[in-house]
Structure 1
Amino acid sequence: MVGVMRSCLRSLLKLMNSIIGMVGTGMILYSLWMIRLWHQHLDGGGSISQIPWFIYTFLGLGISLCLITCSGHIAAETANGHCLSCYMVFVFLVVLLEAAVTADVFLNRNWEEDFPEDPTGRFEEFKKFVRSNFEMCKWIGSLIVAAQALSILLAMILRALGPDRGGYYDSDDDYTPARLPLLKPPVQQPPYAVDSHFKLKNDVWNTNR
């Protein structure tokens, strides 16, 4: 029963982890598209007075999410306590970062001043897109946060169950002969063999005497 539960938890953790990986992959693709447009702008005679922080931040977050996804799949497959702990810490740090940014946006009226100026203009386009599609972005954000929270919860439960010891051998019968000597010590053979024919002659000779 525990083995079935552990297998289900692994599958669910991989599913939630895949959602995080899909988000990271989408962020990487969007960042590469923005980098391409930025280089086209430079080739067209544009100036590079400031670093396009928004593009590189988006790219760094996407790569981080993909790396976390890889570690999550390894942790789910091995069910190792150290791997699961590291995975939970990584996801928790991402959740804290998302919570801090969300709180700054909703509680600080001048939150835009906390970010440097983006020379590419992609940050402004991203804000306009979020505002015009707020309902869809809200549901997508809720799905991502829910997947991250479930990933942490599933990793905690899987860590509490421990690794599956049954996967290292097929059955207990394979180890039965190795345990038999502990129950019944083997009979040690004498270092030499006595010829029964010679022993019989020796007994007859002793009787005749």
Structure 2
Amino acid sequence: MKPCSTCLSYTLMFLNYVQAFNGVSILIYSLWILTCWSTQQNEGASWFVWFAFGVGVSVCLIAFIGYVSAEVTNGCCLCFYALFTSILIVSEAALVCDIILNKQWEKDFPRDHTGELQRLRQFIEANIDICKWFATVVFAIQMLSIMLAMILRLMARSKRVNTGRHEDYDAIRKPLLNQLDAPIASTSLGNEKIPTKTWRSAMKDKLGWAKNQSSDEAIV
């Protein structure tokens, strides 16, 4: 059980490394846009820049939680990691569905003053096959991470339950063992220890010898 749990933990940590790389890439992209926009314009950055920055930070935080959870194999941390990853997947799925089903999806968002949203759209349309494969890989990594987190949580829970049962079993057995060892109790005679049964038999023999001696004196 332990080697299997260790293997799953290392796999989950590796998957979180990949997700952290994606988050850092989004952060670098958003900071690059912010730097270029700040040097060209005096206005504040567009919402798209801050949105990309927030997505990058969120992905990095979730990956960090997943890495720590896989390292310590804590059930509570694994549960929170699975919950946050599920929320991220649902948000991504809602965004993709809106873009696919709604042909006028750009009107649902405020105007991007930097123009990066339009350039990003043109890049995706020009490399649609690569983007599809990339999105599929990211989605598969996130789903596999959730599955591994749930498996590790169940394994940690079963291990904790089995440990508690063994402790209760040992606590029940201990008095019985003490009772079995009870006849070993001894009585000291001088500097020597004589078991209880031997002491009793010695006393009976002594009392019997005293009675026989008294009866012989009476006959005389």
Q: Report the counterpart of residue 119 of structure 2 in structure 1.
A: 125
Please give the secondary structure, in 1, of the residue aligned with 2:112. Answer: coil
**Contact 1:78-1:163 at 8 Å conserved across structures:** no
User: Unaligned regions of 5+ residues in structure 1, if any?
Assistant: 167-175, 197-209
Percent identity over the alignment is 34
Gaps of 5+ in 2: 161-169, 192-220
C-alpha separation between the residues in 2 aligned to 1:25 and 1:106? Answer: 27
- Equivalent in 85, 91, 104 of residue 91 of structure 1: 85
Distance change (3 Å), C-alpha of 1:55 and 1:159: same
CA contact (8 A) 1:79 1:163 kept: no
2:27 match? 28
- Looking at both structures, which has the greater relative contact order when contacts are Cα pairs under 8 Å and sequence separation is at least 6? 1
TM norm structure 1:
0.76
How does the TM-score come out when normalised to structure 2? 0.72
Structure with greater helix percent: 2
Q: 1:71 aligns with which of 54, 65, 69?
A: 65
Structure 1 pair 97–103 and aligned structure 2 pair: CA distance change class (3 A):
same
The answer for the alignment partner of 1:5 in structure 2 is: 4
1:145 aligned residue (119, 133, 139): 139
Which digits, 9 at most, give the CA deviation of each residue in 1:127-160, with x for residues without a partner?
A: 1111111111111111100000000111111111
- Correspondence 1:16 to 2:15: yes
Q: Deviations over 1:73-131 (max 9, x none)?
A: 11111111111110000000000000000000100111110111011111111111111
Decide which of 102, 123, 129 is 1:108's aligned counterpart: 102
CA distance in 1, matches of 2:67, 2:176: 41
- Are 2:58 and 1:59 equivalent residues in the alignment? no
SS at match of 1:33: helix
Write the letter of the residue equivalent to 1:161. Answer: M
Contact 1:84 1:155 in 2 (8 A): yes
Task: Give secondary structure in 2 for the equivalent of 1:117.
Answer: coil
User: Could you say which structure has the larger radius of gyration?
Assistant: 2
Contact 2:30/2:53 (<8 A) preserved? yes
Q: In 1, distance between residues paired with 2:81 and 2:116?
A: 32
Shift of 1:13: 0.9
Supply the RMSD in Å over aligned alpha carbons.
Answer: 3.0
C-alpha separation between the residues in 2 aligned to 1:65 and 1:120? 23
Rounded to whole Å, the distance in 1 between the matches of 2:152 and 2:128 is: 36
CA distance in 2, matches of 1:62, 1:141: 15
Task: For residue 114 of structure 2, give the secondary structure of its aligned residue in structure 1.
Answer: coil
